[in-house]
Amino acid sequence: MKKKLLFIGPPGAGKGTQANLFSKKYGHDHLSTGDLLRDEVSSGSVLGTKAKALMNQGELVSDELVLSIVEGRLVMSQKGWLLDGFPRNVNQANSLKKLLEKINQPLEAVISIQIPDNYLIKRLLERGREDDTEEVITNRLKIYSEKTAPLIDLYRKQGILEVINGNADIDVVFSCIEKALG
């Protein structure tokens, strides 16, 4: 199984859900910037307080903060890693590229989970996290299509992209991911 992975997809596509299942089964370190930022928010730190305000509007947190969170964990990882929710814009993708070159751990595959917007909105409203209101979800989807979706083409050009249909049961999506990475 490939060891250096990235899962990308719009909010609610199931990337967190699938990354969790996958890392539990195959032993990758699961690096979810969303989860790491929510931990920072719960800690009540100054950075967490700043992050919370942005997250609750559906905006991206500063690249510097996200990078500082990811870098240390990537460098420490011994058994392979799975990035979930990072990179989210071109600047983060460039920083990741430089970091991976520095530590000599090239990305092996990118899983792009795709699903129409109307299903995403329904899923997220049902989940009901603090940033899962209709207004905030709409903003997150807009930011995804403007800033994150262009990265898919970048990874397609590198020949490491696998597109997965996210509009199916969780176990069906999981099997498709295993097949793509096997």
Burial label for 63, CB within 10 Å (0-12, 13-18, 19+), is middle
Regarding 41 and contact with ligand B4P (CB under 6 A), the answer is no
User: Quick one: tokens of 165?
Assistant: 């249909």
Q: Segment contacting ligand B4P (CB under 6 A): 23-31, 33-41, 95-103, 156-164?
A: 33-41
Owner of token pair 């898919």: 152
Nearer to ligand B4P, 120 or 161 (CB): 120
CB-wise, 33 or 112, nearer to ligand B4P?
A: 33
As given in the structure block, the two tokens for residue 173 are 């999506």
The one segment of 8-16, 22-30, 98-106, 156-164 that binds ligand B4P by CB under 6 A: 8-16
Q: Which of 62, 67, 58 is nearest to 143 (CA)?
A: 58
Q: Is 28 in the site for ligand B4P (CB under 6 A)?
A: no
Q: Rounded to an integer, what distance in angstroms lies between the CA atom of residue 53 and that of residue 57? A: 7
Which amino acid, one-letter code, is at 34? G
User: Which residues in this chain contact ligand B4P in the complex, by CB under 6 A?
Assistant: 11-17, 33-34, 37, 54-55, 58-61, 66, 85-86, 88, 92, 123-124, 127, 131, 140, 169-170, 173
